[in-house]
Chain A
Protein backbone atom coordinates (compact mmCIF):
# COMPACT_ATOMS: atom_id res chain seq x y z
CA UNK A 1 0.00 0.00 0.00
CA UNK A 2 1.30 3.45 -0.92
CA UNK A 3 1.59 5.97 1.85
CA UNK A 4 2.88 9.46 2.33
CA UNK A 5 5.94 9.97 4.52
CA UNK A 6 7.68 13.07 5.78
CA UNK A 7 11.37 12.35 6.27
CA UNK A 8 13.97 14.74 7.60
CA UNK A 9 17.59 14.11 6.76
CA UNK A 10 20.53 15.84 8.29
CA UNK A 11 23.29 15.66 5.71
CA UNK A 12 26.80 16.91 5.17
CA UNK A 13 26.88 19.64 2.63
CA UNK A 14 28.89 17.64 0.08
CA UNK A 15 28.34 17.19 -3.65
CA UNK A 16 26.53 14.04 -4.55
CA UNK A 17 24.70 13.37 -1.32
CA UNK A 18 21.30 14.41 -2.67
CA UNK A 19 21.90 12.38 -5.84
CA UNK A 20 22.45 9.29 -3.73
CA UNK A 21 19.35 10.03 -1.65
CA UNK A 22 17.19 10.68 -4.70
CA UNK A 23 18.59 7.57 -6.40
CA UNK A 24 17.61 5.48 -3.42
CA UNK A 25 14.04 6.74 -3.47
CA UNK A 26 13.82 6.14 -7.21
CA UNK A 27 15.16 2.59 -6.94
CA UNK A 28 12.48 1.73 -4.42
CA UNK A 29 9.82 3.46 -6.57
CA UNK A 30 9.19 6.21 -4.03
CA UNK A 31 7.92 9.41 -5.59
CA UNK A 32 9.34 12.63 -4.17
CA UNK A 33 6.47 15.08 -3.76
CA UNK A 34 8.47 17.85 -2.25
CA UNK A 35 11.98 18.49 -1.17
CA UNK A 36 13.52 21.37 0.70
CA UNK A 37 17.17 21.78 1.53
CA UNK A 38 19.03 24.47 3.41
CA UNK A 39 21.88 25.08 5.81
CA UNK A 40 21.42 24.50 9.54
CA UNK A 41 22.93 26.33 12.50
CA UNK A 42 26.08 24.23 12.03
CA UNK A 43 28.24 25.27 9.07
CA UNK A 44 28.58 22.49 6.51
CA UNK A 45 25.49 20.65 7.69
CA UNK A 46 22.19 20.88 5.86
CA UNK A 47 18.77 19.75 6.77
CA UNK A 48 16.43 18.42 4.14
CA UNK A 49 12.78 17.53 4.35
CA UNK A 50 11.43 15.03 1.87
CA UNK A 51 7.78 14.29 1.36
CA UNK A 52 7.60 10.97 -0.42
CA UNK A 53 4.92 8.49 -1.31
CA UNK A 54 5.80 4.88 -1.50
CA UNK A 55 5.27 1.38 -0.29
CA UNK A 56 4.45 1.00 3.35
CA UNK A 57 6.26 -2.29 3.66
CA UNK A 58 9.62 -0.92 2.60
CA UNK A 59 9.84 2.40 4.43
CA UNK A 60 11.93 0.94 7.24
CA UNK A 61 14.34 -0.52 4.70
CA UNK A 62 14.52 2.84 2.91
CA UNK A 63 15.37 4.57 6.20
CA UNK A 64 18.15 2.08 6.89
CA UNK A 65 19.53 2.44 3.39
CA UNK A 66 19.45 6.24 3.72
CA UNK A 67 21.34 5.94 6.97
CA UNK A 68 24.03 3.97 5.12
CA UNK A 69 24.84 6.84 2.78
CA UNK A 70 28.20 8.07 4.02
CA UNK A 71 27.26 11.76 4.13
CA UNK A 72 23.84 11.28 5.70
CA UNK A 73 24.15 12.00 9.41
CA UNK A 74 20.63 11.40 10.65
CA UNK A 75 17.29 10.21 9.33
CA UNK A 76 14.01 11.07 11.02
CA UNK A 77 10.73 9.56 9.91
CA UNK A 78 8.18 12.05 11.17
CA UNK A 79 5.34 9.59 11.10
CA UNK A 80 6.89 8.03 14.19
CA UNK A 81 6.45 11.04 16.47
CA UNK A 82 4.42 14.27 16.58
CA UNK A 83 5.91 17.03 14.54
CA UNK A 84 5.34 20.58 13.34
CA UNK A 85 5.44 21.28 9.65
CA UNK A 86 5.15 24.39 7.55
CA UNK A 87 5.61 25.46 4.02
CA UNK A 88 5.97 28.80 2.39
CA UNK A 89 4.26 29.90 -0.80
CA UNK A 90 4.68 32.88 -3.10
CA UNK A 91 1.63 33.33 -5.29
CA UNK A 92 1.12 35.91 -8.03
CA UNK A 93 -2.51 36.78 -8.66
CA UNK A 94 -4.06 38.90 -11.42
CA UNK A 95 -5.83 42.10 -10.38
CA UNK A 96 -8.05 44.02 -12.79
CA UNK A 97 -10.12 46.32 -10.60
CA UNK A 98 -10.03 48.22 -7.35
CA UNK A 99 -12.80 46.00 -6.01
CA UNK A 100 -10.71 42.94 -6.66
CA UNK A 101 -7.75 44.54 -5.00
CA UNK A 102 -9.82 45.25 -1.86
CA UNK A 103 -11.27 41.78 -1.84
CA UNK A 104 -7.84 40.16 -2.21
CA UNK A 105 -6.44 42.27 0.63
CA UNK A 106 -9.29 41.08 2.84
CA UNK A 107 -8.72 37.40 2.07
CA UNK A 108 -5.00 37.85 2.60
CA UNK A 109 -5.64 39.39 6.00
CA UNK A 110 -7.85 36.45 6.97
CA UNK A 111 -5.08 34.04 6.04
CA UNK A 112 -2.37 36.24 7.47
CA UNK A 113 -0.68 36.32 4.08
CA UNK A 114 1.62 39.22 3.31
CA UNK A 115 1.69 41.27 0.16
CA UNK A 116 5.30 41.32 -0.98
CA UNK A 117 4.99 42.82 -4.46
CA UNK A 118 2.49 45.21 -5.95
CA UNK A 119 1.91 45.84 -9.64
CA UNK A 120 -0.98 47.54 -11.41
CA UNK A 121 -2.18 44.13 -12.73
CA UNK A 122 -0.87 41.75 -10.12
CA UNK A 123 -0.13 41.13 -6.47
CA UNK A 124 2.32 38.68 -4.98
CA UNK A 125 1.37 37.17 -1.63
CA UNK A 126 3.59 35.34 0.79
CA UNK A 127 1.89 32.71 2.87
CA UNK A 128 3.21 30.35 5.50
CA UNK A 129 1.27 27.48 6.91
CA UNK A 130 0.63 23.81 6.85
CA UNK A 131 -0.47 22.08 3.70
CA UNK A 132 -4.18 22.55 4.39
CA UNK A 133 -3.87 26.28 4.82
CA UNK A 134 -1.73 26.70 1.73
CA UNK A 135 -4.15 24.72 -0.37
CA UNK A 136 -7.17 26.58 0.96
CA UNK A 137 -5.52 29.87 0.03
CA UNK A 138 -4.79 28.63 -3.48
CA UNK A 139 -8.49 27.77 -3.89
CA UNK A 140 -9.45 31.25 -2.74
CA UNK A 141 -7.10 32.80 -5.27
CA UNK A 142 -8.15 30.67 -8.19
CA UNK A 143 -11.18 32.73 -9.29
CA UNK A 144 -8.98 35.85 -9.52
CA UNK A 145 -6.54 34.18 -11.88
CA UNK A 146 -3.32 32.67 -10.60
CA UNK A 147 -0.45 33.83 -12.79
CA UNK A 148 2.14 31.61 -11.13
CA UNK A 149 3.00 30.22 -7.75
CA UNK A 150 5.81 28.47 -6.00
CA UNK A 151 5.83 26.43 -2.80
CA UNK A 152 8.91 25.49 -0.82
CA UNK A 153 7.58 22.11 0.10
CA UNK A 154 7.30 21.04 3.70
CA UNK A 155 9.87 21.67 6.36
CA UNK A 156 9.38 19.72 9.55
CA UNK A 157 10.66 19.42 13.11
CA UNK A 158 9.79 16.86 15.74
CA UNK A 159 7.88 18.39 18.64
CA UNK A 160 10.09 19.10 21.64
CA UNK A 161 8.05 16.93 23.98
CA UNK A 162 8.80 13.95 21.77
CA UNK A 163 12.52 14.58 21.71
CA UNK A 164 13.63 15.33 25.28
CA UNK A 165 17.12 13.95 24.89
CA UNK A 166 18.23 16.45 22.30
CA UNK A 167 16.79 19.31 24.27
CA UNK A 168 18.69 18.27 27.39
CA UNK A 169 22.01 18.24 25.58
CA UNK A 170 21.51 21.77 24.30
CA UNK A 171 20.39 22.98 27.73
CA UNK A 172 23.44 21.38 29.27
CA UNK A 173 25.69 23.10 26.75
CA UNK A 174 23.99 26.39 27.53
CA UNK A 175 24.50 25.95 31.25
CA UNK A 176 28.18 25.13 30.78
Chain B
Protein backbone atom coordinates (compact mmCIF):
# COMPACT_ATOMS: atom_id res chain seq x y z
CA UNK B 1 0.00 0.00 0.00
CA UNK B 2 1.32 3.45 -0.94
CA UNK B 3 2.38 5.61 1.99
CA UNK B 4 0.44 8.81 2.46
CA UNK B 5 2.76 10.15 5.16
CA UNK B 6 6.40 9.41 5.70
CA UNK B 7 8.57 11.36 8.12
CA UNK B 8 12.27 10.89 8.59
CA UNK B 9 13.92 12.06 11.79
CA UNK B 10 11.69 15.13 12.29
CA UNK B 11 12.95 17.69 14.76
CA UNK B 12 11.25 20.83 15.91
CA UNK B 13 13.15 23.19 18.16
CA UNK B 14 11.71 26.44 19.47
CA UNK B 15 14.45 28.99 19.97
CA UNK B 16 13.60 30.80 23.20
CA UNK B 17 16.23 33.55 22.99
CA UNK B 18 17.98 33.81 26.39
CA UNK B 19 16.27 30.73 27.83
CA UNK B 20 17.00 27.12 26.92
CA UNK B 21 15.54 26.13 23.51
CA UNK B 22 12.46 23.89 23.64
CA UNK B 23 12.85 20.65 21.75
CA UNK B 24 9.18 19.92 20.98
CA UNK B 25 10.00 17.03 18.60
CA UNK B 26 13.16 14.97 18.78
CA UNK B 27 13.55 12.73 15.75
CA UNK B 28 10.12 11.44 14.83
CA UNK B 29 9.90 8.67 12.22
CA UNK B 30 6.39 7.87 11.14
CA UNK B 31 4.76 6.03 8.26
CA UNK B 32 1.04 6.17 7.62
CA UNK B 33 -0.55 4.43 4.65
CA UNK B 34 -3.72 5.52 2.90
CA UNK B 35 -7.06 4.87 4.56
CA UNK B 36 -5.42 4.61 7.98
CA UNK B 37 -7.34 5.70 11.08
CA UNK B 38 -4.69 6.51 13.64
CA UNK B 39 -4.72 8.27 17.00
CA UNK B 40 -1.80 10.16 18.46
CA UNK B 41 -1.78 10.11 22.25
CA UNK B 42 0.45 11.60 24.89
CA UNK B 43 0.46 13.83 27.91
CA UNK B 44 0.07 17.56 27.62
CA UNK B 45 3.19 19.22 26.26
CA UNK B 46 4.52 16.00 24.71
CA UNK B 47 4.52 17.48 21.20
CA UNK B 48 1.24 16.19 19.75
CA UNK B 49 0.10 19.53 18.34
CA UNK B 50 3.57 20.33 17.06
CA UNK B 51 3.58 17.05 15.13
CA UNK B 52 0.08 17.74 13.80
CA UNK B 53 1.14 21.20 12.60
CA UNK B 54 4.09 19.72 10.74
CA UNK B 55 1.99 16.96 9.20
CA UNK B 56 -0.67 19.54 8.33
CA UNK B 57 1.94 21.74 6.57
CA UNK B 58 1.17 24.68 8.84
CA UNK B 59 4.76 24.63 10.03
CA UNK B 60 8.13 23.36 8.81
CA UNK B 61 10.52 21.11 10.73
CA UNK B 62 13.82 22.37 12.12
CA UNK B 63 15.42 19.22 10.80
CA UNK B 64 14.42 16.01 9.04
CA UNK B 65 12.26 15.29 6.03
CA UNK B 66 8.58 14.80 5.43
CA UNK B 67 6.82 13.40 2.39
CA UNK B 68 3.10 13.76 1.88
CA UNK B 69 1.71 11.82 -1.06
CA UNK B 70 5.30 11.28 -2.18
CA UNK B 71 5.97 15.01 -2.33
CA UNK B 72 8.81 16.33 -0.20
CA UNK B 73 6.87 19.04 1.61
CA UNK B 74 9.61 19.80 4.17
CA UNK B 75 11.44 21.67 1.39
CA UNK B 76 8.48 23.74 0.18
CA UNK B 77 8.01 27.49 0.45
CA UNK B 78 5.03 29.33 1.95
CA UNK B 79 2.87 29.47 -1.16
CA UNK B 80 3.49 25.82 -2.02
CA UNK B 81 2.55 24.84 1.54
CA UNK B 82 -0.65 26.89 1.27
CA UNK B 83 -1.46 25.03 -1.93
CA UNK B 84 -0.85 21.64 -0.23
CA UNK B 85 -3.00 22.63 2.77
CA UNK B 86 -5.77 23.62 0.45
CA UNK B 87 -5.62 20.52 -1.73
CA UNK B 88 -4.46 17.68 0.51
CA UNK B 89 -5.45 18.48 4.08
CA UNK B 90 -8.64 18.98 6.02
CA UNK B 91 -8.33 20.34 9.55
CA UNK B 92 -10.71 19.81 12.43
CA UNK B 93 -9.76 21.80 15.51
CA UNK B 94 -10.71 21.54 19.16
CA UNK B 95 -12.05 25.11 19.05
CA UNK B 96 -13.83 24.62 15.69
CA UNK B 97 -12.13 27.70 14.20
CA UNK B 98 -15.09 28.87 12.18
CA UNK B 99 -15.29 32.51 11.02
CA UNK B 100 -17.73 33.99 13.55
CA UNK B 101 -19.41 36.49 11.21
CA UNK B 102 -19.82 34.10 8.28
CA UNK B 103 -22.66 31.66 7.71
CA UNK B 104 -22.09 27.91 7.83
CA UNK B 105 -22.27 27.85 4.04
CA UNK B 106 -19.69 30.57 3.65
CA UNK B 107 -17.37 28.89 6.15
CA UNK B 108 -17.53 25.69 4.13
CA UNK B 109 -16.96 27.61 0.90
CA UNK B 110 -13.66 29.10 2.09
CA UNK B 111 -11.29 26.32 0.88
CA UNK B 112 -13.00 26.51 -2.53
CA UNK B 113 -12.53 30.29 -2.65
CA UNK B 114 -8.78 29.82 -2.28
CA UNK B 115 -8.50 27.35 -5.15
CA UNK B 116 -10.50 29.53 -7.48
CA UNK B 117 -13.63 27.39 -7.79
CA UNK B 118 -16.35 29.40 -9.58
CA UNK B 119 -19.02 30.85 -7.26
CA UNK B 120 -21.94 28.71 -8.41
CA UNK B 121 -20.05 25.43 -8.14
CA UNK B 122 -18.63 26.57 -4.81
CA UNK B 123 -22.05 27.07 -3.31
CA UNK B 124 -23.30 23.78 -4.64
CA UNK B 125 -20.37 21.79 -3.28
CA UNK B 126 -20.48 23.55 0.09
CA UNK B 127 -24.18 22.79 0.39
CA UNK B 128 -23.50 19.13 -0.48
CA UNK B 129 -20.74 18.90 2.13
CA UNK B 130 -23.07 20.35 4.76
CA UNK B 131 -25.79 17.89 3.77
CA UNK B 132 -23.28 15.05 4.21
CA UNK B 133 -22.91 16.00 7.91
CA UNK B 134 -26.69 16.38 8.32
CA UNK B 135 -26.51 20.18 8.38
CA UNK B 136 -28.54 20.89 5.23
CA UNK B 137 -31.10 22.85 7.25
CA UNK B 138 -28.48 25.06 8.94
CA UNK B 139 -26.62 26.49 5.94
CA UNK B 140 -27.48 30.10 6.71
CA UNK B 141 -26.81 29.95 10.43
CA UNK B 142 -23.83 31.70 11.92
CA UNK B 143 -21.56 29.87 14.38
CA UNK B 144 -23.10 31.59 17.43
CA UNK B 145 -26.50 30.27 16.34
CA UNK B 146 -25.24 26.67 16.38
CA UNK B 147 -24.50 24.19 19.19
CA UNK B 148 -20.97 22.90 19.75
CA UNK B 149 -21.66 19.63 17.99
CA UNK B 150 -23.22 21.44 15.05
CA UNK B 151 -20.22 23.75 14.81
CA UNK B 152 -17.87 20.79 14.73
CA UNK B 153 -19.96 19.22 11.99
CA UNK B 154 -19.68 22.43 9.96
CA UNK B 155 -15.92 22.26 10.53
CA UNK B 156 -15.88 18.65 9.31
CA UNK B 157 -17.86 19.66 6.22
CA UNK B 158 -15.34 22.41 5.58
CA UNK B 159 -12.42 19.99 6.06
CA UNK B 160 -13.88 17.59 3.51
CA UNK B 161 -15.26 19.96 0.89
CA UNK B 162 -12.07 19.89 -1.17
CA UNK B 163 -11.80 16.05 -0.95
CA UNK B 164 -8.40 16.09 0.83
CA UNK B 165 -6.09 13.08 1.16
CA UNK B 166 -5.82 13.52 4.90
CA UNK B 167 -8.16 14.57 7.68
CA UNK B 168 -6.34 15.97 10.71
CA UNK B 169 -8.35 16.25 13.91
CA UNK B 170 -6.62 17.87 16.90
CA UNK B 171 -8.70 17.08 20.04
CA UNK B 172 -11.93 17.36 18.00
CA UNK B 173 -14.08 16.44 21.00
CA UNK B 174 -12.14 18.47 23.58
CA UNK B 175 -14.87 21.12 23.82
CA UNK B 176 -17.88 18.79 23.54
CA UNK B 177 -19.97 16.81 26.04
CA UNK B 178 -19.79 13.03 25.90
CA UNK B 179 -22.95 12.51 23.91
CA UNK B 180 -21.99 15.02 21.22
CA UNK B 181 -18.48 13.58 21.26
CA UNK B 182 -19.89 10.15 20.45
CA UNK B 183 -21.85 11.68 17.59
CA UNK B 184 -18.72 13.31 16.12
CA UNK B 185 -16.75 10.11 16.53
CA UNK B 186 -19.46 8.28 14.60
CA UNK B 187 -19.00 10.76 11.76
CA UNK B 188 -15.26 10.15 11.72
CA UNK B 189 -15.90 6.39 11.71
CA UNK B 190 -18.21 6.81 8.74
CA UNK B 191 -15.67 8.98 6.89
CA UNK B 192 -13.00 6.37 7.47
CA UNK B 193 -15.30 3.70 6.07
CA UNK B 194 -15.77 5.88 2.98
CA UNK B 195 -12.01 5.67 2.39
CA UNK B 196 -10.64 8.78 4.12
CA UNK B 197 -7.33 8.78 5.97
CA UNK B 198 -7.76 10.16 9.48
CA UNK B 199 -5.18 11.28 12.01
CA UNK B 200 -6.65 12.03 15.40
CA UNK B 201 -4.95 13.72 18.35
CA UNK B 202 -6.40 13.06 21.77
CA UNK B 203 -5.42 12.39 25.33
CA UNK B 204 -8.66 10.51 26.11
CA UNK B 205 -8.45 6.73 25.92
CA UNK B 206 -12.11 6.14 25.02
CA UNK B 207 -11.79 8.58 22.10
CA UNK B 208 -8.54 6.99 20.97
CA UNK B 209 -10.26 3.61 21.13
CA UNK B 210 -12.20 4.52 17.96
CA UNK B 211 -8.94 4.50 15.97
CA UNK B 212 -7.33 1.42 14.50
CA UNK B 213 -3.79 2.34 15.46
CA UNK B 214 -2.47 4.17 18.50
CA UNK B 215 0.78 6.12 18.41
CA UNK B 216 1.95 7.31 21.84
CA UNK B 217 4.45 10.11 22.10
CA UNK B 218 6.33 11.44 25.10
CA UNK B 219 8.89 14.24 25.29
CA UNK B 220 8.84 14.70 21.53
CA UNK B 221 9.54 11.10 20.66
CA UNK B 222 7.41 8.13 19.67
CA UNK B 223 7.09 5.91 22.70
CA UNK B 224 4.92 3.19 21.22
CA UNK B 225 3.03 2.52 18.01
CA UNK B 226 0.54 -0.34 17.92
CA UNK B 227 -2.30 -1.54 15.78
CA UNK B 228 -5.45 -2.14 17.82
CA UNK B 229 -7.73 -3.49 15.10
A complexed with B: no
Residues of A whose CB lies within 8 Å of any CB of B are none
B residues in contact (CB < 8 Å) with A: none
